[in-house]
Amino acid sequence: MPKPRHFLDIDRIPVDTLRNLIHRAIEMKRARKSGEVQPQPLVGRTLTMIFDQPSTRTRVSFDVAMQQLGGYTMMLTGTEMQIGRGETIGDTARVLSRYVEAIMIRILDHGMLLEMAESSSVPVINGMTKQSHPCQVMADLMTFEERKGSITGKTIAWTGDSNNVLASWMHAAAQFDFTMKVATPKEFAPRDALRAWIKKSGAKILLGNDPQWAAAGADCIITDTWVSMGDEKEAARRLNILQSFQVNAALMALAEKDAIFLHCLPAHRGEEVSDEVIDGPQSAVWDEAENRMHIQKAILEWCLT
């Protein structure tokens, strides 16, 4: 049997496919907004969504995406499944593959995502792990290109924590050939495995500790929460150390005049981003959130047809 088309990470998929997904999402968004009748290629298909962590955007955008394509969704949480009582993720994948046509899973342990994909005979989509958040960054890339054209050759700044969203952005830098300037405190800098990946990939990723250096001349400034899911125990320490990494008007002013601001949301206003920036004219965060739905329609179509 041929291997299913999983969507696990941006660095595992050929760049031409990634580009096609963005173009397809932009086209589906345009067609929907202009009221054209849309094909429903996924009639009769079911997507199971497993959430072992909370979600607003991922849950709703996948649900609506699947409905617009003619399919169904079913939402499960880790605690109400037998996984919570010790059934292996592999056995869970084998069983679910007999019922549904695709699985989307949000789980902190990236190894468990990979195990699920290994044992599943239907496509598995990464809905976020501690290690990466590829659907989010596909929506981010789409948003950037809608506003500013091709991202290739551009300069993207990241300030704040080194987390899952940043890792997927780094994968994108390698694939789409743009420069990333990343400013994190030493305490929350990319770990050895990610540093080794950067080196091996040859991506234009520059690491530092100064947000002003990262922002200077950037076409886009990105940040994310200082306390990601799973980091709650050290929240106070994080908030303290990361304070000087906030994206505010003074930091935005160092970027290109027409630079945009991105944040995957949920935002913690007054922490990693000031109100004036997230609500300001350079913020693209609401388009970014909307684009989760459009890009995931393209991803579902690619996985399933």
Of 106, 68, 214, give the one whose Cα is nearest residue 155.
Answer: 214
**Which region among 11-19, 83-91, 240-248, 261-269 touches ligand CP (by CB under 6 A)?**
261-269
Window 70 to 129, contacts with ligand CP (CB under 6 A): 128
Q: SS3 helix, strand, coil % of the chain, rounded to 5?
A: 50, 15, 35
Q: Is 264 a catalytic residue?
A: yes
The 10 Å CB-count burial string (b at 16+, else e) for 234-251 is eeeebeebbeebbbeeeb
- Indicate whether 228 belongs to the interface with ligand NVA (CB under 6 A): yes
SS3 47: strand
Q: Is 131 a catalytic residue?
A: no
Q: Could you tell me the two tokens for 37?
A: 């009748």
Q: Could you tell me the two tokens for 230?
A: 């799973």
Please identify the residue of the shown chain whose CB is closest to the bound ligand NVA.
228
Q: Kindly provide the residue ranges of all beta strands, DSSP E only, lying in the chain, ordered along the sequence.
A: 46-51, 72-77, 102-106, 124-126, 155-159, 179-183, 205-208, 220-223, 260-263
**Minimum CB–partner distance for residue 58 and ligand CP (Å):** 3
β-bridge partners, 93? none
- Indicate whether 268 belongs to the interface with ligand CP (CB under 6 A): no
**Considering CB distances under 5 to 8 angstroms, the limit depending on partner class, which of ligand NVA, ligand CP, none binds residue 56?**
ligand CP
- Indicate whether 29 belongs to the interface with ligand CP (CB under 6 A): no
Mark 264-283 with x for binding to ligand NVA (rule: CB under 6 A) and - for no binding. x-------------------
Q: Are 139 and 163 in contact (CB under 8 A)?
A: no
Among 38, 56, 243, 244, binds ligand CP (CB under 6 A): 56
**Minimum CB–partner distance for residue 124 and ligand CP (Å):** 17
- Indicate whether 113 belongs to the interface with ligand NVA (CB under 6 A): no
- Indicate whether 294 belongs to the interface with ligand CP (CB under 6 A): no
Which of the residues are catalytic?
106, 133, 136, 224, 264, 292
